Every structure is written in structure tokens, then in C-alpha cells.
Structure 1
């Protein structure tokens, strides 16, 4: 049984998301949210953003070489892009 490159890539993406969500949960965040999404909420959407979230916002965006990484991650959470197709329409 051969595993296609597409399936392997999808599996890898899901594993990375799961690790990200685990790390976020371990530091006090929600179990089903990535750290990038949480950082966007803390740095941009919060009424009074804390300095640590503003710093993490810059650091995470820089790590991904994308000034909108955290925003994109937040939008993915809200739009349920990382969910399997059968869960997106619930």
C-alpha cells in the first residue's frame, strides 16, 4: 500500500497543528487553538494588549517570514480551515 505524497503532506500538516495546539494548551491556552491564533487575539484583538503578546506576535510572524502569519492562523481557526471536510459545515 503506497502512501501518496499528498497524503503524507496532509498528515504532516495535521501533526504540526496538533503539536502547536498541545503547546498552546500546556501554557494555558485552549486545547483546540494554535499559539499563533492566540497570539493574534492577545496582540491585536484584545482591548488592552499585553506587551508579551505584542512581542510574541512579532517573533512568530518573523519566524514564518510572514507579517500576517498570526492573522492568517486566527482566520483559519475562525473559518475552521484545518478541520476535516465533514466537520466544517456543522
Structure 2
């Protein structure tokens, strides 16, 4: 691998980890608000090793709500299957080291 390849790989991993952190933090904050009775609806389970896009696809596939997937896929107009592809990537553990897949 070239130095540029290493930089690009590690940069992508950093962005994925920030995405996963934001997803987990959102779940925690919503659960806290729900426990304090400041959030009107029950909050489901959120996972630390899941990106926002994969979470949106999981909601869409399980018929919880589809609008978040539509918003993300619209914002990323150059990749209209982004959420589905992110979910498949999570299932295949593509962001993990090869020896842990």
C-alpha cells in the first residue's frame, strides 16, 4: 500500500467511527430523555457498531419508519442506495479488520 492508500483508509475509518459515535450518542440521549419523561415516544435499541445510514435502513426494512432513509439517500443524491449499502457493509463487517470478519 502506498502512503496515500494508508491515509485514505485511515481517514475513511475515522469518518465511520465518528458516524457510529454520533449514532450511539443519539440513542443514549433519546433514551435519557425518554427515562426523564421528556421524550414522548418509546426509544428502541441503538448499537455502538452501527452507522446512522445502516440504522436508517434497519428502520426502513423493519417498517419502523422510512423517512430517515429517504432523507439520507436524498442528501447523498449521488448514492441513492447509500443506506442499504451501508447496512450490507455492516452485516458483512466490511469496516472491521479482515481477521475479525
The TM-score normalised by the length of structure 2 is 0.75
Q: 1:83 aligned to 2:82?
A: no
Give 2:64's aligned residue. Answer: 49
Q: 1:33 aligned to 2:46?
A: no
Distance in 1 separating the partners of 2:97 and 2:18 = 17
Distance in 1 separating the partners of 2:83 and 2:47 = 16
SS in 1 for 2:64: coil
User: Which deviations, in whole Å up to 9, do the C-alpha atoms of 1:29-88 show, x marking residues without a partner?
Assistant: 211000100100101x11x423xxx22111111222221100000000001111111111
Give 1:23's aligned residue. Answer: 22
The TM-score normalised by the length of structure 1 is 0.83
Could you say what the CA RMSD is over the residues aligned between the two structures, in angstroms?
A: 1.3
Which runs of 5 or more residues in structure 2 are unaligned? 28-45
Q: How does 1:3-22 map to 2 (within 5 A)?
A: 4-22=3-21
Distance in 1 separating the partners of 2:54 and 2:69 = 10
Which runs of 5 or more residues in structure 1 are unaligned? none
